[in-house]
Structure 1
Amino acid sequence: MSEKNEKPYRKLASSKHLKRLMNRYFLTIGYLRFGRPIAWVTSGAPVELIRACGFLPVYPENYGAICGASKAGQDLCQIAEGEGYSIDLCSYARANIGSMFNSEKAPGGGLPAPDCVVAASNVCNTLVKWFELVAAYFKVPYFVIDIPYQFEAEAAAFDDTYITQQLTDMITFLTSISKKTFSQGKYLKILKYSSETIRLWKAIRETGKHRPSPVNAPDLFIHMAPIVSLRGSRGTLRYYKRLHRELDTRIEQGIGAIKQERFRLLWDNIAIWFNLFDFFNFFSRQGACFVVSTYTDAWSGEWDENEDPIQETVRIYRDAYLNLSQMRRAEMMINSVKEYAVDGIIMHSGRTCKPYSLGQAAILEKVTAETGVPGILIDADMVDPRFYTDAQVKNRLQAFIELLETRT
């Protein structure tokens, strides 16, 4: 390929292995279940325990991202709206609900029906009501894990006791459905895979500290799929070892994710799935690489294998990113700006993702005051393109790039 026609980003060779891994996952939950029950779960639910109870986990949130990336999001959202659901409801939820009412318009024909539904309140309260609807629609049992919001830097002892009791109750709930005995040995094996995978994912994200960065945020958005849907499996661990080797090779050879890295950016919030590559190519062509994102940090909580496994499960899921106060999130962003040598911050104010978007302006103000690094908020959505105006957003972003140029 000539220099003139070369794309502004360098595609990861591991992408073809990712596709095979995820195709096997969807084949398994759709056809190769071998009698294993399916649980629809939220991204903040303790999947290691759910797997140890004999279930195959399915993530409607992840499926919402697939609906957006496949350009099916708007149609599915409108189907849900036709059934009486508000346009202001989370577009992940509307896409999933739309796929339930009309599987013919859903990617892959929609998700397989669940045998039970498990939700945790540590990511978003909308999920609790969304999954209550799912359970009622499919007429299956529903379990909610109530995880207190973490206002302070240290959680209260009562919080841990409260969550621990709920996890014990959840095991009883799940095994009564799966008709399997909870195995501590199986749980520890799954936890070991999960722990090693999380460490690798953290190392993969941290390759962005190198200059030039071998990884760009859209790579991380795509390649985070296994750590969401397949966390705790041997195949996922093997996959991230491969991806990490590829990024290490790029570092050794001085190869960046984009050509001629000029600006290093931080991304906040969920990806704009329906316009993912066109949106980020706008930056790549101007030498701007997203070396770190808060969204992909959500699955980076490390396990301490010397501690009690249930208590570690409580700690990891209690401290989910969106379950932390704005002050703690701002402090985490300040650290990222410094550690990754960030030049600018792009905050996606998602129209239908209230928990992530509310408070972004205050967080940005604090981060800029502390670090001197400028930022900008852009209006869009993760799945529904009706909340996004490309020309308007690009004009604002172009002005921001020009601001960064004056600072170099």
Structure 2
Amino acid sequence: MDVVETFGKTVDRQCDRDPAKGRRVLRAGWEAQLFRFRHMPVKALMPAYQYLAALMMDTMLKPLRDPGHSAVVSIFTPSQLLQEVGLSPYNAEAYSAYLLGSRCEHSCILTAEAAGLPETLCSYHKIFTGAAEKGLLPRPRCIVYTNLTCDANMLTFKRMERFFNVPAFFIDVPWTQTEADVRAVASQLRDLGRFLEDITGNKTDEKRLMSRIRRSIDTMDTFRQARRLQKDKYIPTDLVSPQYGAMVNNVLLGTPEVEKFARMLLKDVKLAGPARGKRIYWVHTNPYWSDAMHKALYINESAQIIGSDMEQVVYPEEMAAQDPYEAMARQMVFNHLNGSVERRIQAAIQQAKETGCDGAVWFNHWGCKHTLGGSALAKKRFQEAGIPCLVLDGDGVDRAHGGEGQTATRLGAFIEMLEDRNE
């Protein structure tokens, strides 16, 4: 039994006896991991990715340290208003991923399913729900969520509102992309600002809020520059950095910390050596826990993940507006995952080309209807664009649905095909 597995069993055992004690053990382990990221980073990674690992770990710890100043959020909830009133994002998908990394996920899934959640529900949402209802996760100040891209949000966050007995705010984002849709969402975001002010007693300074929006736009522009420049560069990557990027570029967008990451990434890319190996663009989440994935793609000169569609779901120019609420509304309405799957596919193809990839993987995460339903069309569109595409089934956070055998076989064969194609 390894150290992480022992840690997970300890957290589960303590949580069953005393949930508060289970949370303290979980926090202690995560604080130790933060120390490691800051003082003993993975040297094979660029400084930007070393910084990113510590930033994301610190983000996860803030709700455990001070739950009264945190808000449970869905991944595409605008973060700038939370920052204004001093609330830390407490993101469901991210917590589920970290609980998996701590080997605590299985008992959470069992708790959720025993409470009536269907097996076919997204595993990220089952883990978060189970962890909350067994007492492992602390009570937040409030909940802010949206229907954007994920239908599981409508079940999870309503259930969490009742379970935690805290105020909740829902943002209804239309499926279409019109200026009328932007105005409708902006009106809801103004209401959200008042909701957060009433809950926290802190006022929103609109000039400061607009500064956060400008920082968000500049950050996304810098990030896009870095991704374009890496076309001819070798960027060593592990399996979690794309996941970290997807989280901080959404739930922390507008903070100086994410702006710093984007600038560090651009600097590191400029200094990187020439490209080598097969370069894979990844669509959706990835099963970073998988041994087959580690063997194929973990800090490997022969093959690397060089980008993910979850890292940049909106372009800087799509957010541009003179009013901060309209800018945040555009951030949601023009999200590349909002609306028809064709929008998502075309955005992914554009980004994949910009990164100079050799091929793409469209990952069908268990329970994600939006991704599963678009997979056949995505494969066709990628291949029409001259990019070989592998549709891979699996689960981002549940080992029971992982399909290790098929991941090893199909991913290995895909990388071999890319090598043979170039030859």
Note whether the superposition's TM-score is higher than 0.5: yes
Of the three residues 50, 53, 67, the one matched with 2:82 is: 50
Aligned to 1:144: 170
How far apart in 1 are the matches of 2:307 and 2:56?
24
Q: Alignment partner for residue 76 of structure 1, among 102, 108, 111?
A: 108
- Aligned pair count reads 379
CA distance in 2, matches of 1:304, 1:86: 37
Match of 1:244 among 258, 266, 281: 266
Q: Given that residues 341 and 370 in structure 2 are in contact (C-alpha distance below 8 angstroms), is that contact kept between their aligned partners in structure 1?
A: no
Structure 1 residue 31 corresponds to structure 2 residue 65: yes
Tell me which amino acid in the other structure corresponds to 1:38.
Answer: S
Greater alpha carbon shift after TM alignment, 138-147 vs 188-197: 188-197
Residue identity matched to 1:398: G
Q: Aligned in 2, Cα 1:131/1:209: closer, same or farther, shift over 3 Å?
A: same
Q: Does the 8 Å contact 1:38/1:56 carry over to 2?
A: yes
Secondary structure at the aligned position of 2:330 is classed as: helix
Amino acid at match of 1:282: A
- CA distance 1:102–1:319, change in 2 (3 Å): same
Gaps of 5+ in 2: 1-42
- CA 1:47–1:97 in 2, change beyond 3 Å: closer, same or farther? same
Q: Which residue of structure 2 aligns with residue 169 of structure 1?
A: 191
Of 45, 52, 56, 1:11 maps to: 45
Report the secondary structure of 2:264's partner residue. helix
Contact 1:264–1:291 (8 Å) recurs in 2: yes
1:196-221 C-alpha deviation (Å, 9 max, x unpaired): 33233333333432243465764322
Q: CA deviation at 1:93?
A: 0.8
Contact 1:65-1:273 at 8 Å conserved across structures:
no
Alignment correspondent of 1:158: 180
Using structure 1 for the length normalisation, give the TM-score. 0.83
Cα distance change on mapping 1:87 and 1:208 into 2, 3 Å: farther
Seen in structure 2, the aligned counterparts of structure 1 residues 142 and 245 have a Cα distance that, compared at 3 Å, is same
Give the structure 2 partner of residue 362 of structure 1: 377
| Aligned counterpart, 1:210 | 232
> Root-mean-square deviation (CA), in Å?
2.7
Partner Cα separation in structure 1 for residue 101 and residue 368 of structure 2: 17
Mean Cα displacement is larger for which, 40-49 or 306-315?
A: 306-315
In the TM superposition, what is the alpha-carbon distance from 1:20 to its structure 2 partner?
A: 3.9
Deviation per residue, 1:138-180 (Å, 9 max, x gap): 1111111110113xxxx23321222122112212222221122
Q: Is 1:201 paired with 2:217?
A: no
**Distance in structure 2 (CA, Å) of the matches to 1:267 and 1:101:** 33
Give the Cα separation in 1 of the matches to 2:126 and 2:365: 14
Q: Which amino acid aligns with 2:93?
A: E
**Whole-angstrom distance in 2 between the partners of 1:214 and 1:53:** 37
2:76 partner letter: G
Task: Find out whether 1:351 has 2:366 as its counterpart.
Answer: yes
Contact preservation (8 Å) 1:128, 1:144: no
Quote the offset at 1:135 in angstroms: 0.6
AA at the equivalent of 2:279: R
Kept after mapping to 2: 8 A contact 1:218/1:280: no
> Which of 219, 228, 236 is 2:241 aligned to?
219
Inter-partner Cα distance in structure 1 for 2:277 and 2:49? 25
Residue identity in the other structure for 2:191: D
Aligned to 2:133: 101
Residue 366 of structure 1 and its aligned partner are, at CA, apart by 2.0
Shift of 1:331: 2.0
Q: Is the CA contact (8 Å cut-off) linking 1:160 and 1:314 kept in structure 2?
A: yes
- In the TM superposition, what is the alpha-carbon distance from 1:21 to its structure 2 partner? 3.1
Deviation at 1:17, TM superposition (A): 3.3
Deviations 1:96-134 (A, max 9, x none): 11111224xxxxx53x31121111112312112211111
Say if 1:266 and 1:337, in contact at 8 Å, map to a contact too. yes
1:87 is matched with: 119
Given candidates 151, 160, 174, the residue that maps to 1:134 is 160
1:327 paired residue number? 342
Cα deviation per residue 1:274-321 (whole Å; 9 max; x = unaligned)? 32x750431465822222321222265457666322222111111122
Deviation string, structure 1 residues 361-392 (Cα, Å, up to 9, x no partner): 11211221x22332221110111111122122
Contact map agreement 1:207 1:214 (CA 8 A) in 2: no
For normalisation by structure 2, the TM-score amounts to 0.80
1:269 maps to 284
Separation (CA, whole Å) in 2 of partners of 1:92 and 1:204:
29
